[in-house]
A and B are shown apart, each in its own frame.
Chain A
């Protein structure tokens, strides 16, 4: 009987054992059927391009951030961004964080793939775009993780990257861009092809972008380190492959405008109607009778062009919903309703860097006698820059442009007055690139009418953003080191190239905060 039980128990054990047949089958079960473990450099590059342009020229950072700080636009209705409440503290955290772990990480992968293939037409554009992206980070925050960043899955990389001093970041930019320009200018093939939505993969075009970006970054240092600025401008102007020579060279991302990938400002306008042209901007456009006015702005219901003051409380801002100008037709087809979609705004290219800006940089370099240029060349570059901006924005009336160039405020005066004119004209031309317009204002203090609004939480226009709350949480020691180096983590601390000792002083603007 005992044997019978054992036999039955044994049979049970055998069934049990068959149930437990384990081994390699389990590993197969865990093979991810949803996502690939490797992809082409091309598909990564397209996505990174779209995403980084959306980030820095899109809603959160640009249209509801930089454009209010640069006072191209003012906010009506709830004015939390324009009074800096909702630009403070944690507000830019997602912008900062995502830039690293989304686009910069993807661009790093593209660079790695290009390097592995020894193909400069792959890694070169990625390096240039990475530098363009990283510039927004350092100019908005100052010291940022750079050399030690993006390395958590490579050997020797750090999960908690250290913050580089901004000066080191800039040095890195210059070296990187010079190297990229050289390789791009000599590169055969165009391996990114149509996956490069900016230049169709052309290494020659990217070489020009590299040199032009080099010039933009060099000019940023003009107050803090004029020697380096001049030397780097020289390198940039003489970079292999040259700089932008016409609007056809512009680094511009055209948008499909299919309702999914629309120009980010157009997409933003589809959702909200609380932007108006800033009074600061409008006063200058109107005062100079600028031909771009009708492109930049709509008339109000009353048929006039009027701006809304920046930084009002919502009660005071509210009337400007009606009485101030919406942005113009090129972005936004209807003067009176924001519920009209499509139109030219949806496909309007985002301008990463333009020929007009390069000419303004050359004009300023000339006026300052930097970059191998001399003051006698400044007026020509300046007029060419304004003409390029008119062309870029579709202003074709040559008579009006000529009349504009002849106006006393516009006609180039040279000297310090010339530098002011260059700064103001560059600011006008940079409409739509709030980040760069804000950086330039911090560098030049022009136009001098930019000041914090009456309801703003600060009595000065912010000079940087608060560090990412995520970084403060998980990379706190390195953030602390950056704060020790740079100054307290608030709106008032100036980044390295914006130090008060070297920067121009602006009337009514906070100069030296703790």
Chain B
């Protein structure tokens, strides 16, 4: 039923296009055709070629070709043929209309500004920027590859307005990207990624802070961030990245457009008259941890001022403990423990036992008790990243191709950690005849990574360095990873694996083999009408193995020879679509663009996991060697979405464009009655400076306003309609075990809906020397498909339902100024971008005012009604009426829970500068995040364990006179506190206090810096190259933040659980060289 209604709407739109078409067709006369290219020979699409006096003309297609017919009545006259395109200087040529075919090519010189030119928009269609009524920002290859980064997304950081990015705190980890705020309470808030017209997966296996990662599979949890699938794209293959900021620009993508679209177009071969061009890009960088905690070096391991190592499990004095409240690190050789018999109550007399030698895990009794200030930093190695891409491209007028091969070899900053990536991309196009063009590309990627560093609890490297002894000698652990009798050698045996053990004895490998490809054929039906059929797939297999050596603490059962977890994922997403695109001039004043099409998307996803805590023979990590029955899980999901869509745009006089779009989706994941949903959009743009010519002056060269309204729908995840039972692979003895799913499904789900409106202003002054692009938007997502937490007493943990509403509104601006551009070749370009987004959870379910997105250490990340999406909710200090801390026995007390703050930044921005002076270039980018809170578990435990410098406050060597009198009110006497406590008591009393450990996450980063030099042409020509550029590059060079001890920027995953930090491996600071040879 729903379908027939929608089809009639679709046909109505189609009718507008086709109904008009015959009327616009021209009578026979002189056929004029040709190609419009740029000065480099590259085709210029969307150029208008016309004879103004006759009011006839055409537009160039993607290959830059145009053809139109001049009326027969004009035959015999000589007229001026004009080729014009925004962003280029117009060009004209006289032609004589003879009645027979005329060929006329144009070469246009660029006159581009930020506001003009061609951009890639929805469905991969190229559009004149001046005609766009929505916000799209395009980043070109040169901006993307200023410096090398492992992840192409990271190069967008600070350059695109409206986007909040958090790069992973771990090499090779996930980058979280949110465009214009989160729309969905529980669903995916990452944008859709499309490469050359085909959506590709950005699946991640990130970890949350406390173990996460493949937690479900393994009791111990791997706690590793395995990155996300978008990492596979080689930045050197990218020609442009278009960011469609939200539903308005992306409406034609339907279901997945609400979060915006990142549209990646790869480089293609061009007509080089048969010559093959070769391009080489190499970069080599050296990587160091950006920020390590600020450790104290005054007190060693232990508690209550005492320590003696016997077996590292508690047989000595405090030697099972993993904290640094032990004796002062003053080089003493005796007296690390108190005279026996005196209880270690800090308020009783204590006397260090001078007759007892100090004892450590790695040194003979009586070795001096000293700090190893570099014991954490010396664990890290200098990483090395070598990236090479070699590309060949070329073609004739009928066939073009490009082949690139790239490799990236990274030696991580933690020992024995490597990332290897190999990319190859072959693309080509063939003009079969005047009407048919076929093109395609295929890409193979192999990612092979070893021994990623664990984050968070259990296997985390930095977790160990938060629970640590400051006297621990890292070289002793490096030299002796295992004990002579097998098993690990370490400074503590209760809780920790030797950190080198984690990297060497617990082998981990993750491999992803991926093929993406698409083929398309375009048929040139008429001068103004093309049909394009395209099909493409993104197929990968992702295998993750994590082995645990014999003797590993946590997860591996010591009665066995080790343990393993394995994870295999297969994904195949296929997209096919068929498009009819019409591009038509009606006289010199009116231009029509229209598209109608249909698409089918089919996704198949398999996921198999197995794990066992016990294997029999050491070193054989597979199921046939399992001593304890492995736990197996498997999952298959499939999803299909069928769509029809249409858009029609009319441009009057090149300055006023109105576009309407409509799309209807039918999704497999919604129930039969609700699975069809239609969504329309309308947008308009007016180039004021052309519409009202007197506006144009010496100062103002360009002004455009735009506005848009859009609605997009979204379907559910597969299998959300029926509650099921879940079986377990492990039996109870021999008995099968089954349980009802804890999530109650909803057979009557409806699609989610996002409504969005935006207005924009684009200004150019002084011939484009300064441009400003601003947008204001407001959007609202309703009918959210959520798996809402319900009262557990109802019998379910959560319930799938259509509930709730989130609103986002915001402002974004991009200012681009070229203050200096001298004839002498000196120029300075500077851009600022600014984005602010205000989100508000307007409603959840009736009677429910909060949804817990993530929970850890008593603190929640919640979506609370009336608050921005993502607030940290946790315990605050107990206070008296006057706001003073309420103390009990001299120590702060935990009070009520409450909202501590939102993780959403108030605004983010970037400031990018490029200086050119002759052959030299200097560029640098500052990245700003203002506001937003984080909850730092690293600081919480680092204070507790007394290893951070701030925990020195109030420490006394004299244990009989402990050091701190906390300011506050005693809860019994109601008088100001006078009770003294030790620093240890104080710092250990604060944990799980969210008020204490939630920080303002504002930061400024010098994101990247590049100093490049074009080598002299004479040198280049000796290398048979047109240009050779060599550059010094740096990433993440400097950070200013108020957050102590950690890098303020981190992300464990692409999921919604952000803002909770624990023990991420620090971001890397990289410095290196880049070489680019262009033929």
Interface, chain A (partner B; CB < 8 A)? 1-2, 5-6, 8-9, 12-13, 15-17, 19-22, 24-27, 29-30, 32-40, 43-44, 46-48, 50-51, 76-77, 89-90, 96-98, 100-102, 104-106, 108-109, 144-145, 148-153, 157-161, 194-195, 197, 256, 258-261, 270-271, 273, 313-316, 318-319, 321-322, 339-342, 468, 470-471, 473-475, 477-478
Contact = CB atoms under 8 A, between A and B. Distances in A.
A256 B344 contact: no
Contacts of B850: 473-474
Given A97-B797, A158-B794, A26 B640 contact: yes
B738 A260 contact: no
B707 to A, nearest CB: 31
B578 A12 contact: yes
B792 A468 contact: yes
Contacts of A316: 343-345
Given A9-B21, A109-B740, 11 more contacts: A6-B22, A20-B600, A26-B642, A29-B638, A149-B793, A160-B790, A197-B735, A260-B631, A316-B344, A321-B313, A478-B791
Contact of A315 (B304, B635, B723): B304
B852 interface: yes
A32 B797 CA distance: 20
Contacts of A470: 789, 791-792, 852
Interface stretch (B43-51, B118-126, B714-722, B826-834): B714-722
Given A26-B667, A152-B799, A159-B799, A34 B792 contact: no
Contacts of A46: 732, 735-737
B675 A26 contact: yes
A473 B795 contact: no
Interface stretch (B52-60, B523-531, B770-778, B1027-1035): B523-531
Interface of B: 3, 14, 18, 21-22, 25, 303-304, 313-315, 317-318, 320-321, 343-345, 494, 523, 525-526, 529, 531, 533, 554, 557-560, 576-578, 580, 596-600, 613-614, 627-629, 631, 634-640, 642-644, 666-669, 672, 675, 718-719, 721-728, 730, 732-733, 735-742, 744, 789-797, 799, 847-848, 850, 852, 858, 875, 894, 984-985
Given A314-B321, A315-B304, A100 B739 contact: no
A161 B794 contact: yes
Given A48-B739, A259-B613, A25 B640 contact: yes
Contacts, number: 277
Contacts of A2: 22, 25
Contacts of B793: 100, 144-145, 148-150, 161, 471, 475
A125 to B, nearest CB: 14
Contacts of B642: 19-22, 26
A255 to B, nearest CB: 9
A285 to B, nearest CB: 24
B740 A44 contact: yes
A256 B733 contact: yes
Contact of B728 (A15, A47, A97): A47
Contact of A77 (B21, B314, B627): B314
Given A5-B526, A9-B18, A32 B303 contact: no
Nearest to B985: A313
Interface centre among B554, B666, B793, B875 (most CB of A within 10 A): B793
A35 B318 contact: no
A33 B718 CA distance: 11
Contact of B525 (A8, A20, A109): A8
Contacts of B718: 30, 32
B983 to A, nearest CB: 13
A470 B850 CA distance: 10
A35 B791 contact: no
Contacts of A314: 303, 321
Contacts of A145: 791, 793
Nearest to A160: B791
Nearest to A98: B792
Nearest to B493: A339
B3 A153 contact: no
A157 B739 CA distance: 21
A429 to B, nearest CB: 27
B644 A20 contact: yes
B559 A341 contact: yes
Contacts of A15: 533, 578
A46 B735 CA distance: 7
A170 B598 CA distance: 63
A24 B3 CA distance: 13
A270 B219 CA distance: 13
A47 B737 CA distance: 5
Contacts of A77: 314, 320-321, 494
Contact of A47 (B315, B525, B738, B797): B738
A259 B219 CA distance: 13
Contacts of A473: 789, 848, 850, 852
The 5 closest A-B pairs by CB, nearest first: A259-B628, A97-B792, A321-B314, A145-B793, A35-B724
A184 B795 CA distance: 26
Contacts of B600: 19-20
Contacts of B852: 470, 473
Contacts of B554: 271
Contacts of B627: 259
A5 B25 contact: yes
A73 B882 CA distance: 42
Interface centre among A20, A96, A100, A339 (most CB of B within 10 A): A20
B574 to A, nearest CB: 12
A341 B558 contact: yes
Given A46-B732, A470-B792, A9 B723 contact: no
A9 B718 CA distance: 35
30 contacts: A2-B22, A12-B580, A16-B578, A16-B597, A20-B642, A25-B640, A26-B667, A30-B668, A32-B724, A34-B719, A35-B724, A35-B727, A35-B741, A36-B724, A44-B738, A100-B793, A101-B797, A145-B793, A149-B793, A157-B794, A160-B847, A161-B791, A258-B628, A313-B985, A316-B343, A318-B314, A318-B318, A321-B315, A470-B791, A474-B791
Nearest to A194: B735
A40 B560 CA distance: 35
Given A2-B25, A259-B628, A108 B314 contact: no
A315 B739 CA distance: 44
B635 A150 contact: no
B279 to A, nearest CB: 38
Contacts of B637: 34
Nearest to A479: B791
Contacts of B343: 316
Nearest to B730: A260
A89 B644 CA distance: 53
A339 B792 contact: no
Contacts of A29: 638-640, 668
Nearest to B604: A29
A353 to B, nearest CB: 20
B795 A101 contact: yes
A19 B578 CA distance: 8
Contacts of B790: 152, 159-160, 474
B721 A105 contact: no
A102 B742 contact: yes
Contacts of A5: 21-22, 25, 525-526, 529
A76 B741 CA distance: 38
B644 A258 contact: no
Contacts of B669: 30
Contacts of B344: 315-316, 318
Contact of A151 (B559, B795, B858): B795
B736 A43 contact: yes
B725 A38 contact: yes
Nearest to A38: B725
A478 B640 CA distance: 42
A259 B726 contact: no
B719 to A, nearest CB: 4
B525 A9 contact: yes
